[in-house]
Chain A
Amino acid sequence: GQQLNQSPQSMFIQEGEDVSMNCTSSSIFNTWLWYKQDPGEGPVLLIALYKAGELTSNGRLTAQFGITRKDSFLNISASIPSDVGIYFCAGRSDSGGGADGLTFGKGTHLIIQP
């Protein structure tokens, strides 16, 4: 099956620093998404990308859909304590018949030191 390689696995940063994480795939996706998951909760959608090359921002978050359609990155600028959590990339490919379940990476655990 499809696999997403997400890196880094974890990040320890100081408050105010910028963060960058990325995701690569062995196969093409038509949609890339970035989710954040807090302890004891389900993932929450941060950014959705629908076109190769697309660059989209949501506040301090910026994400891009790679031109090859096999990768994506997420940047967080000027990190704050509430950014702590696990960030997941997810991809969707058209497998036909209306199936649009997501394939997730293993997550990047962001830890912020005050």
Chain B
Amino acid sequence: EAGVAQSPRYKIIEKRQSVAFWCNPISGHATLYWYQQILGQGPKLLIQFQNNGVVDDSQLPKDRFSAERLKGVDSTLKIQPAKLEDSAVYLCASSTGIVGTQYFGPGTRLLVL
């Protein structure tokens, strides 16, 4: 079974530019999560989708971050405009909905200069 796919794996941009990340969850997984992991920290939840609806976006900085999952499968996370403090690894995870069984992708490493 294929795991969670993410692209790109690495991205370097200048502050105030825009960037987008893509995630393809495990086939059949209805729930999708985006986490932000700053160097030396644990992942922090940004947003949770159930199919194509948002379940929790309470920790998403909505002034610059947006995410969508239009057809209930793939998802994109966008930052516009980026700030230096957005430098982090952005992890996508998916689950069948059973508590705790979240499977993580390899992440996208973002560096904002």
Residues of A within 8 A of B (CB): 1, 4, 6, 30-31, 33, 40-45, 48, 50, 88, 90, 92, 95, 97-107
Contacts and interface: CB of A to CB of B under 8 A. Distances in A.
A101 B40 contact: no
A43 B45 CA distance: 14
A107 B42 CA distance: 6
B75 interface: no
Question: Interface on chain A toward B: helix, strand, loop, or mixed SS?
Answer: loop
A42 B40 CA distance: 14
Given A42-B4, A42-B107, A98 B50 contact: yes
Contact-residue bracket for chain B: 20 to 34
A45 B43 CA distance: 13
Given A97-B55, A98-B50, A44 B104 contact: yes
B100 A42 contact: no
Given A33-B100, A95-B56, A97-B56, A102 B106 contact: no
B55 A88 contact: no
For the complex of A and B, 5 pairs with smallest distance between CB atoms: A104-B42, A42-B104, A101-B45, A99-B56, A48-B100
Contacts of B55: 97-99
